[in-house]
Structure 1
Amino acid sequence: MKIKLICDSLCDIPKEIQNKEYLEVVPLTIIFNDKEYKDGVDISKEEYYEVLKNSKEIPKTSQATYIQFSELFNKYIDEGYSIICINGSSKSSGTYQSAMLAKNDMGDKGNDIHMFDTMSLSLGSGQFVIKACDLIEEGLSPDEIIKELDSIRESVMLFFAPKTLDYLKKSGRVSVATAIIGNILNLVPVFSFPDGEAHLEEKIRGSKNLASKLIDMILERNNGNLEDKIVTIGYGDNFKDFEKLEKEVQKRIKAKKVLITRGGACICSHTGPDILAISCSN
């Protein structure tokens, strides 16, 4: 069976996953200084970090469109593929709705399109894409793959920590008062992403122990055992911070698989370019 896996750029995935021949990433649009960029197409992650650091303006993101999905769906269905479409949280973006509208407008051809709302973002959404790739390569059918993705939903965990609250303040994700107090006290917030929305888990004094704390948190939520999990760790434009996280992972975590990715433009538009994250799933 020919399967085409489609995801959107709200899903941050490692390069080795993105390079799979059967995978296509639909980019969201980044609006910056009155210019529009297709995420990962017109601007790379490295270019985006640089622009973000040197501008006072906070970029806006625009959902992937009905037309983008319609064109891809029609193309691959006409080529004889069954499609699995995995999207970032429908609570955070209209991208899932765009894809669903495109599927529903295809009549009987839409029966070969299998939709999946991750109810997560970034590395969390990426966990479902990684799992889908494994299942495709095992030879499972689209219906079986969707069932398996549903079965791991409860196991998907994501913790992420932006180095500063400034970007979250400017984007309206935290109050001005919270951001000012946090920065004055040198507090680093750690967020999780249950049920499709960000949730503040902890505030850590300073970034020195952040990597260790992220490991503590994910181990605590998994009874100290990640041996049967796929773990992804991520960062943005802060490689030195990431090196500490990577060393902690190597020292303290035994997992089925450990993968590395970098935060994309969609997540970094709200968090800033300096971010650490860790995620896991069955």
Structure 2
Amino acid sequence: MGKIKLICDSMADLTKDQIEKYDIEVLPLTVILDDKEYKDGIDFELDEFYQLLKDKKYPKTSQVTYGQFKTAFDKYVADGRTIFYIASSANATGSYQSAVMAKNDTEGDIHLYDASNLTFGAGMFVLKAAQLLEEGKTLDEVIKELNIIKEKYCLVFSIDSLNHLQKGGRISSTKAMVGNLLNVKPICEVKDGLVTQLGQVRGKKNVINKLIEATDELTGGNIDTSIMYIGYMDNEKEKDKMVEALKEKYNPDKIGTFKIGSCIGSHSGPGVLGILSFKK
């Protein structure tokens, strides 16, 4: 990718292979658990994190700091590099604002882009940028392509338990208790970098159909079947069922999968399942 250094934050949920392949600098958010701080993707493995959620632990997260950005920006500017930072979501975390402050305090060629997305919904922007830069595209051309994707993506997911939403102050304890008793699973959409609830279903067996229904509705049925993605945690069986359901409904040329990391998992709890698709 020559002189351009691609940076993202750990909310993008890229794999180690993807990070290494394109030499991407990933700045970690912080996961806070029992008053201890852990760097996301560095201080623990995903499987360990999933187990913490199952053990009814309720982590919190904090943004990438000004200091982390300043250190990274200074390092690559000193090397004569142009910096391109793709933020996951300016609306969901203060990381983007930290980057803006660090950029304003750094003499160098630094460009910031808000993917307005979560988990691999943001990660696919980073990978697309990496691929385009490797092909020799200019930064302006890359940003133009990313803006096209921003108009086309559709990310919907289900939450298995309401406990983490309640602990995070997103719903009341009464609503969580009643919802759990009734086995309610919220169906949500990521739009403009924020999560909004589209509806809900009762029982896990209805989740997949509802996610497909929501995908159909949001894409207007005009879906790109060249590739679709499934996001999951340690719920492998649900992921496998979703693969079969997507094959039956859309028969896409390729189905990719991604694991939802600790930034989103801290707020959603375990058992999240999602579909990332694109309008034609």
TM-score, reference length from structure 1 = 0.91
Instruction: Give me the whole-angstrom Cα distance separating, in 2, the residues matched to 1:23 and 1:259.
Output: 20
Q: Does 1:91 align with 2:91?
A: yes
Instruction: Give me the whole-angstrom Cα distance separating, in 2, the residues matched to 1:228 and 1:99.
Output: 36
**Match of residue 75 from structure 1:** 75
Shift of 1:8: 0.4
Deviations 1:137-185 (A, max 9, x none): 3221122212221232121221111111111111111222322222122
Letter in 2 for 1:50: Q
Instruction: Give me the whole-angstrom Cα distance separating, in 2, the residues matched to 1:79 and 1:238.
Output: 43
Instruction: Give me the whole-angstrom Cα distance separating, in 1, the residues matched to 2:127 and 2:174.
Output: 38
Q: Does 1:174 align with 2:171?
A: yes
Instruction: Give me the whole-angstrom Cα distance separating, in 2, the residues matched to 1:264 and 1:11.
Output: 8
Q: Does 1:208 align with 2:209?
A: no
Structure 1 runs not aligned, ≥5 long? none
TM-score, reference length from structure 2 = 0.91
Q: Percent identity?
A: 44
| Mapping for residues 50-61 of structure 1, pairs under 5 Å | 50-55=51-56, 57-61=57-61
Structure 2 runs not aligned, ≥5 long? none
Instruction: Give me the whole-angstrom Cα distance separating, in 1, the residues matched to 2:17 and 2:217.
Output: 29
Q: Give SS of 2:204's match.
A: coil
**Match of residue 242 from structure 2:** 245
Deviations 1:197-231 (A, max 9, x none): 21110111211131232123213322334336643
Q: Give SS of 2:22's match.
A: coil
**Match of residue 259 from structure 1:** 256
Q: Does 1:280 align with 2:274?
A: no
Give yes or no for contact 1:89–1:96 (8 Å, CA) kept in 2. Answer: yes
Moved more, 39-48 or 255-264: 255-264
Partner of residue 184 from structure 1, selected from 181, 195, 204: 181
**Match of residue 25 from structure 1:** 26
Shift of 1:115: 0.5
**Match of residue 39 from structure 2:** 38
RMSD: 2.0
Partner of residue 194 from structure 1, selected from 187, 191, 195: 191
Instruction: Give me the whole-angstrom Cα distance separating, in 1, the residues matched to 2:114 and 2:31.
Output: 22
Give yes or no for contact 1:15–1:261 (8 Å, CA) kept in 2. Answer: no
Give yes or no for contact 2:22–2:130 (8 Å, CA) kept in 1. Answer: no
* Paired positions, count: 278
Give yes or no for contact 1:11–1:88 (8 Å, CA) kept in 2. Answer: yes
Instruction: Give me the whole-angstrom Cα distance separating, in 1, the residues matched to 2:226 and 2:144.
Output: 18
Q: Does 1:128 align with 2:128?
A: no
Letter in 1 for 2:164: Y
Q: Give SS of 1:208's match.
A: helix
Give yes or no for contact 2:50–2:270 (8 Å, CA) kept in 1. Answer: yes
Give yes or no for contact 2:243–2:255 (8 Å, CA) kept in 1. Answer: no
Shift of 1:247: 1.9
